[in-house]
């Protein structure tokens, strides 16, 4: 894909921002439980969602936004909420709209935690998404070159303690191959990163749809009362996650049907996109990302879809 989905979308929210009146904050800080907050992007002015979790001894933040002014504003809001030290920054995956503010939070004292693949992919894969060395521009290249890497990584699961509040980090495959879900058990809440987009068309550029569909089924199993904070969109419940799973399942099935019919190229893309629009055309980002989703789904059928190469386990 030429130029990244970030440049094309940068998203769709950038265009919305140009048409909206200025607001006090680039995100909505939504209380979900005592000491637990979702920072929901408003009109693309933060670039993605984030989270704040406060224990009796320390604070953790989930993801660091795309825009530096949003990260600064989040830090200011956190300081209004609590004087406790910022101990952890948990990156749910490597995509730049979720990690661009890392340096500010590290300067504020946070230890960066992520799945082990994030460290390998944070620079090179984001540079690819931004168009490569020539197209990314000097500012983007400098940002990526100086972006703090995860200081603590894990493979499958990790437990953190904030003082009277535990966080459970778990790796699930699907969106990138380096995704982390942050569970707050005492609040029946999960920060999912981009494994869940509420009523929004996702980017699939690094995804494996089969793995992703299985992950979403696992995330909702036994969690009928849980709430889910997506990487993009409003906070959702189990039904919202299942609706998102239905989107991915439908896309995969439609692409498989077109492939089985012998359709290729623009003919296959047009058929799948038309059918997809009938069910999901009113979802956010459909105009900006659905066509790319169809191309990615067809590439999966062809066995030609590129995904980041995970780190090789060493004996």
Domain assignment present for residue 301? The answer is no
Measured CA to CA, the distance from residue 159 to residue 206 in angstroms comes to 27
User: CB neighbours (10 Å) of residue 300?
Assistant: 21
We report the CATH number of the domain holding residue 205 as 3.60.15.10
Domain assignment present for residue 178? The answer is yes
Per-residue pLDDT 10s for the chain (315 aa) are 433 344 344 333 333 433 344 458 999 999 999 999 999 999 999 999 999 999 999 999 999 999 999 999 999 999 999 999 999 999 999 999 999 999 999 999 999 999 999 999 999 999 998 888 878 888 888 899 899 999 999 999 999 999 999 999 999 999 999 999 999 999 999 999 999 999 999 999 999 999 999 999 999 999 999 999 999 999 999 999 999 999 999 999 999 999 999 999 999 999 999 999 999 999 999 999 999 999 999 999 999 999 999 885 543
* Angle at the Cα of 109 from the Cα atoms of 103 and 115, rounded to 5 degrees: 65
Domain assignment present for residue 255? The answer is no
Domain assignment present for residue 265? The answer is no
Give the chain's domain count: 1
> What is the pLDDT, as a whole number, of residue 137?
87
Domain assignment present for residue 260? The answer is no
> What is the pLDDT, as a whole number, of residue 311?
81
Domain assignment present for residue 139? The answer is yes
> What is the pLDDT, as a whole number, of residue 154?
97
Measured CA to CA, the distance from residue 96 to residue 131 in angstroms comes to 13
> What is the pLDDT, as a whole number, of residue 134?
79
Domain that holds residue 74: 5-242
Domain assignment present for residue 277? The answer is no
- The string over 147-158, giving b where at least 16 C-beta atoms fall within 10 Å of a residue's C-beta and e elsewhere, is bbbbeebbeeeb
> What is the pLDDT, as a whole number, of residue 139?
87
Measured CA to CA, the distance from residue 23 to residue 42 in angstroms comes to 9
Domain assignment present for residue 297? The answer is no
């Amino acid at each position: 894909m030429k130029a990244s989905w970030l440049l094309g979308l940068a998203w769709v929210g950038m265009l919305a921002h140009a048409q909206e009146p200025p607001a006090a904050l680039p995100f909505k800080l939504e209380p979900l439980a005592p000491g637990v907050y979702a920072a929901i992007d408003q009109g693309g002015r933060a670039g993605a969602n984030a989270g704040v979790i406060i224990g009796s001894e320390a604070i953790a933040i989930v993801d660091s936004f795309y825009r530096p002014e949003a990260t600064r504003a989040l830090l200011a809001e956190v300081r209004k909420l609590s004087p406790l030290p910022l101990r952890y920054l948990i990156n749910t995956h490597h995509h730049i709209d979720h990690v661009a503010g890392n340096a500010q939070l590290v300067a504020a004292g946070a230890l960066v935690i992520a799945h082990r693949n994030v460290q390998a992919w944070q620079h090179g894969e984001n540079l690819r998404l931004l168009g490569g060395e020539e197209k990314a521009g000097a500012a983007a290249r400098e940002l990526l070159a100086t972006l703090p890497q995860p200081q603590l990584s894990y493979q499958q699961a990790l437990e953190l303690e904030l003082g009277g509040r535990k966080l459970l980090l778990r790796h699930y495959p699907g969106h990138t191959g380096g995704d982390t879900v942050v569970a707050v058990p005492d609040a029946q809440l999960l920060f999912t990163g981009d494994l869940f987009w509420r009523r929004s068309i996702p980017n699939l550029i690094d995804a494996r749809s089969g793995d992703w569909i299985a992950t979403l089924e696992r995330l909702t199993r036994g969690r009928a009362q849980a709430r889910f904070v997506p990487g993009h969109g409003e906070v959702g419940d189990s039904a919202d996650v299942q609706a998102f799973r239905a989107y991915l399942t439908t896309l995969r099935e439609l692409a498989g049907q077109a492939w089985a019919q012998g359709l290729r190229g623009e003919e296959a893309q047009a058929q799948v996109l038309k059918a997809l629009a009938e069910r999901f055309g009113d979802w956010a980002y459909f105009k900006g990302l659905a066509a790319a989703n169809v191309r990615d789904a067809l590439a999966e059928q062809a066995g030609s879809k590129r995904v980041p190469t995970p780190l090789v386990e060493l004996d």
